[in-house]
Chain A
Amino acid sequence: MDCNFLRSPLAGTAGVLATLGLLAIPLCHLTSHRPPPAPSPLAPPPTADALTSAILRLKCLAPARSLRLTTEDGTILLDLTDVAAGESECDALLPISHNSLEISLQADLGTSTADTAVFLTIMPDARDAQTRFVLGSGSLSQPLRFNWQSP
């Protein structure tokens, strides 16, 4: 390689950028203290004119080993494991039909016998937010029904 090239500003810049780039990857992981990103929901298969965009807000009063939301036709909206206590939001496409929606919530709340609650708030575009909850311990499975007035 030509020594003049090595002495050029371009080579210097490239060397510094390469070094910074290599350092950035571990530094990013070390310095980031953000909570883990909200899980991406599993989108239902598209059906013409049948899906409404919505925000889902999940609030767990205690950690859950697993948590799953499914629609009436069995489409999985959300499938989580090792769910921390607290609140998270995600976007979803929901099959709201005749202003109604049924979502099944299945949760494994672990071995504790103390009752706890999981709240699900659904905020479809142009429709009011509605919240339903399940209360219990251990393994839970409950249908949650939502109804809206016509937007």
Chain B
Amino acid sequence: MRKSFLSGVLAAFATAAAAAAPLQVSALHPLMADLARQVGGDRVKVVDLVGEGGNPHRFEPRPDDLARMQASALVLAAGKGLEPYLNRLHDSLQGVRVVEVGSNIPSLTLTRDGDGAAGTPDPHWWHGVENMRRAARVVALALADKDPAGKVDFLANAQTYGARLELMQRWATSELAKVPRSQRKLVTAHNAFAYFAKEFDFTVIAVAGLNAEQNNTPQALAQTIEAVKLSGVKAIFPEYKANAKVLESIAAASATTLAAPLIADGNGSGQDAGFEAMFRHNVQSITQALAAR
């Protein structure tokens, strides 16, 4: 009798442990991984395939990444064309839902000519705080679809995260108010900050196009230098972990200061990892460089 009771208790615990196993979620972007952690909490195990500090523009899934995605309940992509391999991924993964988190977020259109991307959606939607609030709900509902018992938790977490983002948005508005109108121009390494610029009333002069690795012709660089001089802006922004040589040349030619780098693609490391850290870092860099003294 005692043996059968003990067996029953052990079996019950095994069943309970299996039922509480976290949902495995793979992410194709460090900030989608961050969203999954914020919203999923203990109910999810997040596999960040790009990795902290990795560049989602350069990521291409390898066979072991495909295996990890196949073992996941969900794959989160940023969407809006950032991941050109997504169609192939949909075909390759059997029974695994791929969620393009940014698909229903209103798009800005790339306008820069000469890089072949003009007229396509700008994929850097994560630079809008309001966009990230919307994305949190998208992720919550996607997780709930796979773990219905967790729906209340996921939505509550998304709401808590959203409240934190709202406070951060107010802080940013207050900080960036120190930048005078004449200086509300972001000269950046690549064309990644349009959503930020729209939300916080800046304009963007991007040196490179969609991707920091895109080459610039001498003519394009000359045009950029001229645009920077005409703008009257006092500082330009290189990019975190990117070669700043081109911007150094522009700064020298236009008599502007090279400011602290901005994190463009969620590829911060350590204390700069994740959306909130990236956003605070960028706001502080911009304010320090452009605020009236």
> Which of B16, B130, B156, B159 is the one whose CB lies under 8 Å from A129?
B130
Taking a contact as CB atoms under 8 Å apart, the answer to whether A11 and B107 are in contact is no
Determine the distance from Cα of A91 to Cα of B144 in the docked complex, in whole angstroms. 14
Provide the residues of chain A in CB contact with B162, threshold 8 Å.
87, 89
Residue from A7, A37, A128 within 8 A of B155 (CB atoms): A37
Q: How far is the CB of B2 from chain A (nearest CB, A)?
A: 10
Cβ B106 vs Cβ A35 within 8 A? no
8 Å CB contacts to B: which residues of A127-141?
Answer: 127-129
Interface pair B134/A8, CB less than 8 Å apart: no
In the complex, B127 has a CB within 8 A of chain A: no
Is A12 touching B134 in the complex (CB atoms < 8 A)? no
If the complex has contacts A7-B1, A7-B4, are A89 and B12 also in contact, measured as CB distance less than 8 A? Answer: no
Given contacts A7-B1, A9-B4, A127-B106, contact A16 B9 (CB under 8 A): yes
Whether the pair A13, B106 counts as a contact (CB closer than 8 A) is no
- B5, B106, B137: the one contacting A151 at CB < 8 Å is B106
The interface on chain A, measured as residues whose beta carbon lies within 8 A of the other chain's beta carbons, has a size of 28
Nearest CB on B from A37, distance (A): 6
Task: Give the secondary structure class of B's interface.
Answer: helix
Partner of A11, one of B4, B15, B153, B163: B4
Q: Is B104 an interface residue (CB 8 A)?
A: yes
Known contacts: A17-B15, A87-B159, A129-B134. The answer to whether A53 contacts B8 by CB under 8 A is no
Contact (A12, B5) CB under 8 Å given A37-B155, A123-B134: yes
How many B residues face the partner with a CB closer than 8 A? 27
A16 engages B12 (CB within 8 Å): yes
Residues from chain A with Cβ under 8 Å of B163 in the complex: 87
Pairwise interchain contact A13-B11, C-beta atoms closer than 8 A: yes
Neighbour of B12 across the interface among A7, A20, A127, A129, CB < 8 A: A20
Question: B7 near A: Cβ within 8 Å?
Answer: yes
Q: Which residue on chain A has the smallest CB distance to residue B4?
A: A12
Which residue of chain A is the closest to B138 with respect to CB atoms?
A55
Q: Which residues of B contact A34 (CB under 8 A)?
A: 152-153, 156
Chain B neighbourhood of A110, CB < 8 A:
none
CB neighbours of A123 from chain B (8 A): 134
Query: Within 8 Å of chain B (Cβ to Cβ): is A15?
Result: yes
- What is the minimal beta-carbon distance from B39 to any residue of chain A, in angstroms? 13
Q: Which residues of A contact B107 (CB under 8 A)?
A: 126
Interface residue? A25 (CB, 8 A) = no
Mask of B1-32 contacts with A, CB within 8 angstroms, 1/0 = 10111111101100110000000000000000
Question: Across the interface, do B12 and A17 meet the contact criterion of CB distance under 8 Å?
Answer: yes
Residue from B3, B16, B106 whose CB has the most chain A CB atoms within 10 Å: B106
List, in ascending order, chain B residues with CB within 8 A of A128's CB.
106
**Closest CB in chain B relative to A13 CB, distance in Å:** 4
CA distance A37 to B16 in the complex (A): 25
Answer whether residue A125 sits at the interface, using C-beta atoms and an 8 A cutoff. yes
Residues of A contacting B1 in the complex (Cβ-Cβ under 8 angstroms): 7
B residues sitting closer than 8 Å to A (CB atoms) are: 1, 3-9, 11-12, 15-16, 104-107, 130, 134, 137, 141, 152-153, 155-156, 159, 162-163
14 interchain pairs (CB within 8 A)? A9-B8, A11-B4, A12-B5, A12-B9, A13-B8, A13-B11, A15-B8, A17-B8, A20-B12, A37-B152, A55-B137, A88-B159, A126-B105, A129-B130
Given A37-B155, A87-B162, A126-B105, 19 additional A-B pairs, CB 8 A: A7-B4, A9-B8, A9-B11, A11-B4, A11-B8, A12-B7, A12-B8, A12-B9, A15-B8, A16-B9, A17-B8, A37-B152, A55-B137, A87-B163, A89-B137, A89-B162, A126-B106, A127-B106, A129-B134
